[in-house]
Amino acid sequence: MSSEPLLRVENLKTQFFTDAGTVRAVDGISFEVHEGEIVGLVGESGAGKSVASMSLLRLVESPGEIVGGEITYRGETLFGLEEGPDGELRERDDMLSNEEMRTRIRGNEIAVIFQDPMETLNPVFTVGGQLREFIELNRDLSGKEARKEAIEMLREVGIPDPEERYEEYPHQFSGGMRQRVLIAMALACEPNLIIADEPTTALDVTVEGQIIDLVDELQEKYDTSFVWVTHDMGVVAEICDRVNVMYLGEIIEQAPVDELFHDTKHPYTEALLNSMPRPDRTVGELEPIEGVMPEAISPPSGCRFHPRCPDAREVCQRVHPENKEVARADGYPHNAACVKHDVFDVGYDESVPLDKEPQMTASTPSAGDDGE
Amino acid sequence: MGLLRYTTYRFIQAIPVLIGISILTFILANLTPGDPVRLMTQGQEVTPEQIERIEAQYGLDRPLHERYLDYMAGLVQGDMGHSFHRNRPVTDLIASRIGPTLLLVLSAYAFALVTSIPLGIIAAKRRNDPFDHVSRIVALFGVSTPSFWIGIMLILIFAVQLGWLPSAGLVYPWWSPETYGHSGYFEHLIETMRYLLLPMIALGTLQMATLMRVERTQMIESLQGEYVKLARAYGVPERTILRKHAFQVAQLPIITIVGLNLSTALGGAVLIEFVFNINGLGRLFYEAIIQLDYQLIMGITMIIATMFVIGVIITDIAYAYIDPRVTYGESE
């Protein structure tokens, strides 16, 4: 573990300015990724995971905008604001320009593996051509060398007959094979950090297993760091070194993976774990989390999880808990944002438990699940 | 299946379509109220015997199905019959008139494509900018205004008021420059363009507006595609994304519309030929209908139908060429 992390995200805020109001999709998250680490970003749909990961590359699409915080990658400022002489916030001078982001960071330093292999590849170009284009752009190779490299990469990710498949179009590939192509794209650019945005969500379980094994293997070989975005605690357990749990735009718990699973500090994380099928429990013992996540446009007061939290007390409606260190494990802090761990300051113990209000349920149509 | 086999296959498929069109046209033309012989002999003193003789001469006294089979027998040998009004073979008449119409329709399409695609792309890129709003109003105007009215307005402004361009007729580039007294091919070409410009714009505006609207919508959709996100995430320059990644996917519906709108364009050409006094197929068609010149009506309908079918086949081939998911009919 080196002292300076590869990527540091400090109080990142990304908002969407819609007609209905401002959606605080990412609301002040901080995390670090060290060399060679796989860091999980976990949460339900709409928690802001994808927006957070796209913010790292400054690729949030309008009407979304990064409005605050700082992103540092290997000492370079990917995003940073400062107060100008007129008191307005402005971009810092050392922040990389859009052109620098495009030529120096995207692809060759930080690459992305997208969620949907069926839609992500361009249908009218050959798989090999697309792969070669990205290699040429990010690695200063000539067309011929890039082609060779592309075929090599296709072989590396386990695509049989890569020479022939190079000339084929995406529709001639299965979902799992397309996901392998997307992984090949990310690795072929030789980045130091790969953002994997739910790369296995669209795949069936057996293919998911293969892809995860493949990534594990390649990660060891190339020593690439990963930010692994997922909603699946099973995948987290299998692959991640450290985990950040997101809820409604905030990180509510962060810890090394074993610590998170064995000494869970936040009720939401616990609820997530309890809702996950495990070999030691029958289906009847699964406990789904009550209700659905509220929309980020009008988050609940106090702790954002309190309307669904089994441990919620009156104080949770008023006090917004800070994400702070509650334990240490393996030299890393174990942070949680819950007033349970703040007993002296806010008086959680004296506070009365909340009556369960009428809840939104999963069938409530108004609560969209597309807020991500 | 290869391109050649596919094309052959599509042409063979087109034969029943054309036969169907021929039957329908034949019946409809002959059902039209009025009597061609009476129209021919209008104002002249004719005896019933004379009328019978004329009818027998042109075979009009025989039953419809016999006449149809006769006609088709001639057609497959390249004989489209005889215009009894003009007393000339239908093939000659069509051959002398098809040039201006093709020139008009093709140039209108060229004008529409050359203008609509860049404008549509810019409008998509600058969505909701003033440029986008203006181009949408122009497009709305274009699709909702009849081409003949645009033609008349163009004549009023550019020919009558400003006197910049001629208002009628065409210079045929395939005739020698001397025919028009032009001093050389350069002047010949310039004159061709001068005469062609107004009718081309009048006929092409509808196509341009339609294509521009589709191009804009398609590009907006394509620019939101996941593959565009992917290209951005790998540092592809915006211009390349616009020109390559988003563009090629967006062109698929354009091709379809170009092919299908061929019928609108050929129909529009009839009116434009009238407005600009162009001796094309459209005017010949109109006169044939007025005079109930059965053979000529049949001949021109068959030619237009064939052109349309060829247009659609070219569209399909182009579609399969651009979109790898569409194959030339082979099963995977």
Does residue A169 belong to the interface with chain B, where contact is any CB pair within 8 Å? yes
CB B243 within 8 A of CB B219: no
pLDDT of residue A252: 92
- Residue B327 with chain A: CB contacts under 8 Å: none
CB A354 within 8 A of CB A313: yes
Give counts: helices (H), strands (E), chain B: 14, 2
Nearest to B230 among A120, A137, A189 (CB): A120
Name A348's Cβ contacts closer than 8 Å, sequence gap at least 6. Answer: A313, A315, A316, A339, A340, A342
Spatial distance between the Cα atoms of A40 and B72, rounded to a whole number of angstroms? 75
Spatial distance between the Cα atoms of A297 and A49, rounded to a whole number of angstroms? 16
Q: What are the residue boundaries of the structural domains of chain A, listed by start?
A: 7-109+192-346
Query: What is the pLDDT averaged over residues B249-255?
Result: 86
Cβ separation of A122 and B245 shorter than 8 Å? yes
Query: What is the pLDDT averaged over residues B276-299?
Result: 87
- Residue B320 with chain A: CB contacts under 8 Å: none
Cβ separation of B233 and A133 shorter than 8 Å? no
Question: What tens digit of pLDDT does each residue of B150-206 get?
Answer: 999 999 999 888 888 888 888 887 877 777 777 888 888 888 888 888 999 999 999
Nearest to A112 among B233, B245, B322 (CB): B233
**DSSP calls for A134-195:** HHHHHH---HHHHHHHHHHHHHHTT-SSHHHHHTS-GGGS-HHHHHHHHHHHHHHT--SEEE
Which residue of chain A has the CA closest to B250?
A124
pLDDT of residue B173: 79
**Mutation target vs A (from B218, B234, B251; most A CBs, 10 A cutoff):** B234
Does the pLDDT at position B2 exceed 50? yes
- Residue B231 with chain A: CB contacts under 8 Å: 122
Question: What tens digit of pLDDT does each residue of B42-80 get?
Answer: 777 778 888 888 778 777 778 888 888 888 888 888 888
pLDDT of residue B332: 38
- Give A140 to chain B, closest Cα distance, Å: 13
- Give B25 to chain A, closest Cα distance, Å: 41
> Domain A7-109+192-346 sits in which CATH superfamily?
P-loop containing nucleotide triphosphate hydrolases (3.40.50.300)
Domain B94-290 top-level CATH class: mainly alpha
Task: Tell me what ipTM this predicted complex has.
Answer: 0.84
Nearest to A231 by CA among A47, A67, A370: A47
Does residue B235 belong to the interface with chain A, where contact is any CB pair within 8 Å? yes
Please, what's the b/e burial string for B76-92 (b: 16 or more CB within 10 A of its CB; e: otherwise)?
eeeebbbbbbbeebbee
Does the pLDDT at position B321 exceed 90? no
Q: How far is CA A185 from CA A127, A132, B97, in A?
A: 10, 9, 58
Nearest to A102 among B225, B237, B322 (CB): B237
CB A215 within 8 A of CB A196: yes
Number of A–B residue contacts, CB under 8 Å: 70
Does the pLDDT at position B38 exceed 80? no
Nearest to B235 among A108, A116, A126 (CB): A108
pLDDT of residue A226: 93
pLDDT of residue A368: 41
Task: Let me know the angle formed at the C-alpha of A153 by B232 and A215, rounded to the nearest 5 degrees.
Answer: 80
CB A255 within 8 A of CB A338: no
Cβ separation of A112 and B230 shorter than 8 Å? yes
- Give B121 to chain A, closest Cα distance, Å: 18
Question: What tens digit of pLDDT does each residue of A41-91 get?
Answer: 998 888 889 899 999 999 998 889 999 999 999 988 999 988 888 878 888
**Mutation target vs A (from B220, B230, B249; most A CBs, 10 A cutoff):** B230
pLDDT of residue B248: 87
Which residue of chain A has the CA closest to B246?
A122
Q: What are the residue boundaries of the structural domains of chain B, listed by start?
A: 94-290
Question: What tens digit of pLDDT does each residue of B206-228 get?
Answer: 999 999 999 999 999 999 889 99
Each residue's pLDDT tens digit in chain A (372 positions)? 446 899 999 999 999 999 888 999 999 999 999 998 999 999 888 888 989 999 999 999 888 999 999 999 998 899 998 888 887 888 888 888 888 998 889 988 999 998 888 889 999 899 999 999 999 999 888 889 999 999 999 998 889 999 999 999 999 999 888 988 999 999 899 899 999 998 888 778 888 888 888 888 888 888 899 999 998 888 898 899 999 999 999 999 999 999 999 899 899 999 888 888 777 777 777 788 888 888 888 888 888 888 888 888 888 888 888 888 888 877 888 999 888 887 666 677 777 777 655 444 444 444 444 444
pLDDT of residue A366: 45
- Give A215 to chain B, closest Cα distance, Å: 19
Does residue A165 belong to the interface with chain B, where contact is any CB pair within 8 Å? no
Does the pLDDT at position B114 exceed 70? yes
Which amino acid, residue A187? Answer: L
Query: What is the pLDDT averaged over residues B7-20?
Result: 88
Token digits of residue A164: 């022939």
Question: What tens digit of pLDDT does each residue of A241-272 get?
Answer: 999 999 999 999 999 999 999 899 899 999 88
pLDDT of residue A166: 93
Does residue A113 belong to the interface with chain B, where contact is any CB pair within 8 Å? no
pLDDT of residue B331: 43
Cβ separation of A57 and B233 shorter than 8 Å? yes
Which amino acid, residue A369? Answer: D
pLDDT of residue A356: 56
Torsion of CA A49, A54, A57, A63, to 10 degrees: -130
Does residue B326 belong to the interface with chain A, where contact is any CB pair within 8 Å? no
Does residue A329 belong to the interface with chain B, where contact is any CB pair within 8 Å? no
CA B250 to chain centre: 24
- Residue B229 with chain A: CB contacts under 8 Å: 59, 114, 120
